[in-house]
């Protein structure tokens, strides 16, 4: 059986060189830089959360092409239990800001979180932000 491939935009600990990359490494066929528009929040000392917002910043990350089975592993890591269920992150379909690529991304739904309790990540140049490597 040939497994379907999907694109997933990652912006934190699933990126190459980060501590949770091992979750997708064996499922990944390719990776390329990408950009979405939103706001990154530092929700712990270990990982960020993205809220999609057209008035936000350019958030740099990586598009990974993975086997569909990788989504189950990523869902587990991101606390995604399925549509309409209690989820830590939601998985939504997005399009890259500059490229002809689209796929899944794990995001926070701002209406369900107390975002005022978290600091915004504002690293980068101008209106571009990216994940800070946490130790």
Catalytic residues: 78
Question: What Cα–Cα distance (Å) separates residue 116 from each residue in 49, 113, 131?
Answer: 13, 9, 19
For 55, 63, 86, 107, 109, the CA distances from 66, given in Å and listed in that order, are: 30, 9, 25, 18, 24
């Amino acid at each position: 059986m040939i497994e379907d491939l999907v694109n997933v935009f990652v912006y934190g600990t699933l990126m190459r060189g980060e501590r949770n990359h091992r979750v997708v490494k064996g499922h990944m066929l390719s990776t390329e830089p990408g950009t979405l528009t939103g706001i990154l929040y530092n929700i712990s000392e270990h990982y960020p959360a993205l809220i999609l917002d057209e008035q936000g910043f350019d958030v740099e990350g990586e598009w990974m092409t993975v086997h569909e089975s990788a989504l189950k592993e990523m869902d587990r890591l991101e606390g995604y239990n399925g549509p309409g269920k209690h989820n830590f992150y939601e998985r939504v379909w997005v399009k890259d800001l500059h490229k002809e690529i689209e796929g899944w991304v794990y995001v926070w739904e701002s209406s369900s979180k107390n975002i005022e309790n978290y600091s915004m990540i504002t690293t980068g140049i101008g209106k571009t932000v990216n994940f800070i490597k946490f130790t």
